[in-house]
Structures are given as structure tokens and as C-alpha cells.
Amino acid sequence: MATTRVGIIMNGVTGRMGYRQHLLRSILAIRDQGGVELADGTKLVPDPILVGRNRDRLAEIAAEAGIERFTTDLDEALAGDDEIYFDAQLTSVREEATLKAMAAGKDIYTEKPISESLEGSMRLARAAAEAGVRVGVVHDKLYLPGLLKLKRLVDGDFFGRILSVRGEFGYWVWEGDWQTAQRPSWNYRTADGGGITTDMMCHWNYVLENLFGKILAITARTATHIPERVDEQGNTYQATADDAAYAIIEIEGGIIVSINSSWAVRVHRDELVEFQVDGTEGSAVAGLHGCVVQHRAMTPRPVWNPDEAETERYRDQWAPVPDNATFDNGFKAQWEQFLKARAGEGEHPYDFLAGARGVRLAEAALRSHAEGRRIELEDLTL
């Protein structure tokens, strides 16, 4: 069986996401399974070169993974014959490195946000169009079991006319004083690209527009609930970025979305993120893995009576959506789709304009908070 080497420059693999999700669970998993198989039987086998600032850490990762190539010099990596540049660095340095990679003729696959600003995101989108390179932006949650099941329900018209979507995301991130924080300290510094609004609105944009339709407007309020935290070195610092965002989002067709994101909330849900979708014919609650439904014909008739204790077990009145498929790691599945699309097999629609729309929603949310008003979203064109 024929194999084709695909050289991938992986910048930022010493970070949590770059290392765990993209290197270990995606690229190495694809390599170890023998590659991505095309329709003609050819297998695309990734051959990564690791790039980062900490040479010792790169050497350690490379030795563990059986990778021979690594460097702290991005220019050196870009001068080689590897076809793809991948970026999982801090957002503050992503745009410059990505522009450099496109100038070197590399196809691009990148984490989000693709830039610190909408202006920068559109600069990347235009540069990609001018360079004629293939680009992809990580949309990992679309590939997870719960949202794949939810998409199946939408496509099957289970809901009838969709009325509303309610999203709850978050968990308590330890302040770092008496228990180590689960997130890096840069997440709480605006100067380093931190903030839950900038982070999560990019996710919610692609989830909402791909499941339910075009986003028209947003009204948002952000907050820094925990103003003081302790960093990785044990030093106390002031949080300058928001750790919670509360938004009402309007979608074409009259769908109203309310979505809360917080790193200062304790979990009373089945999963760390859940979306409830209500329609005229039925409702669903989807997390990243599970999804349950309640059809119109099976909907109970609750009666409000605060004087008596509830006897209904409301959660028991929902039915699980079956898997009906084998679900792979979401990051890996999207990597495979991108690699196949580059080889001319199938489509990968999540380009820099899609990434820019995520940044646009985040900027609009922050602007809505700052100005205390509803913000309509303008269309983006090259």
C-alpha cells in the first residue's frame, strides 16, 4: 500500500493544548495507526517537526514521541520542505508567525483565536487568499459525540421550528493559593491574550452558526469575579482579564440564544458544557458526549405550585440519543478531515473567514459590555 509523507511544522507543542490534543492525541495517533487512508488506498502519514522556545522541553517531548526533528528557530523550520504549518502558540504571537508561514508557501492549520483582533484576522484571511494556500481553523467541538448527535437532530428536523438555545459552560478554576490552578495564569492577563470572552466566544460562534444559522447580534456582560490569583511560580498577581461572560445572541430565523461562560462557577450539570435546544416539536439537551431528547408527544404537563414539593422526576422523562456510530477524538477527526481535503478528498470549510467570525463575536461581546448596548454584526468579506 502506497504511503505519502506529510511534513507538519508544529509550533507551540510545549503548551497544554498543543501537546495533549494536537501532538499526542491527533498527529501521533494518526502516525501510529499508519496514516489517513484516501479512497485510492494511499495513506497520508504525518511527519512532524517540533518548534518552540524551550529546547530542553522540545528534546524531551521529541524523545518520548520518537520524533527526530525539533528546533527553536521557526525560520529554519519554514525553510524546509514541510507542507503544513500548525500554530498552537499564545494568541498574541500567532498572527506574525502565521503570516511568515504563508509567505514561505505553507498551508496553515491553526488554533483559535487566529489573531488578537478582527482586523488582524481579516489580514490573515486576505493574505491566505492572495497566497493561494489551504487553511484550516480548529473547530473541535463540532466533532464531539454530543454535538454530532445534536446536529443529527437538527438535520432530521426533530425540533420543528427552533425557538431558543440555552448554553451553560464553566467550572471553578482554583485561585492558585492553596490548590494549583487548572488553567495557566496568562488566561487571566489581557496583555497576554487572556479572558474567557476572547477564548470561548470563538467556540460558541462556530457551534451556533454551524448548528443553527447566521449570528445577527449580541448583548453581553463580562466580569472579573476573582480579581487576584497566584501564578505558576507562587506569585500573587492581579487578574486583568474577564473570567465570566454572559450573553444573549440573536440568530437568523428568530432563534434566541442565552449562553453563560465562567471560570468561577461550581458545576451542577452532567457535563462541563450543555446546550438545551427548545423547538415546537421537541427539545434536546446536549453536552460534549451525551444527548437526551423529549418529543412534543412525550412532554409532561408541569403545574406551578410552590406550596407542595415536586413529585415529578423531570430528568427521567428524557430519552438518550443513541450513538449509531463510533466517535473518534474530535481534534484527531478534524486533523484527518483537513489532511484529506488537502489531498483533494472532501471539503474542510473552516477557513480564516470562519476564524475571523469567531473573533468578531468576541470583540462584539466586549464592545457590548463596554458600551452597555446590543451590537449588530456586520458581514465579513475579503
Q: What is the pLDDT of residues 76-98, one digit of tens each?
A: 999 999 999 999 998 989 999 99
CATH 3.40.50.720 in the chain, residues? 3-138+330-350
Name the pTM for this structure. 0.95
Residue 310, pLDDT score: 86
Residue 136, pLDDT score: 98
**What are the tens digits of pLDDT across the range 192-236?**
889 999 999 999 999 999 999 999 999 999 999 999 999 999 999
Contact 272, 265 (CB under 8 A): no
Look up residue 66 and give its three cell numbers.
520518537
Distance CA 346, CA 339 (A): 10
**What are the tens digits of pLDDT across the range 255-297?**
999 999 999 999 999 999 999 999 999 999 999 999 999 999 9
Buried b (16+ CB within 10 A) or exposed e, 67-80: bebbbeebeebbee
CATH 3.30.360.10 in the chain, residues? 141-325+359-371
**What architecture is the 3-138+330-350 domain classified under in CATH?**
3-Layer(aba) Sandwich (3.40)
Evaluated on CA atoms 284, 287, 289, 290, the torsion sign reads negative
**What are the tens digits of pLDDT across the range 132-141?**
999 999 999 9
Distance CA 251, CA 269 (A): 25
Residue 193, pLDDT score: 86
Evaluated on CA atoms 355, 356, 361, 363, the torsion sign reads positive
**What are the tens digits of pLDDT across the range 135-158?**
999 999 999 999 999 999 999 999
Q: Tell me the CB-side half-sphere exposure of residue 231, using CA atoms within 13 A.
A: 11
Residue 27 — pLDDT band, cuts 50, 70, 90? very high
Distance CA 99, CA 118 (A): 15
Residue 1 has pLDDT above 80, yes or no: no
Look up residue 204 and give its three cell numbers.
460558541
Residue 252 has pLDDT above 90, yes or no: yes
Look up residue 362 and give its three cell numbers.
468576541
Distance CA 26, CA 10 (A): 12
The CATH code of domain 141-325+359-371 reads 3.30.360.10
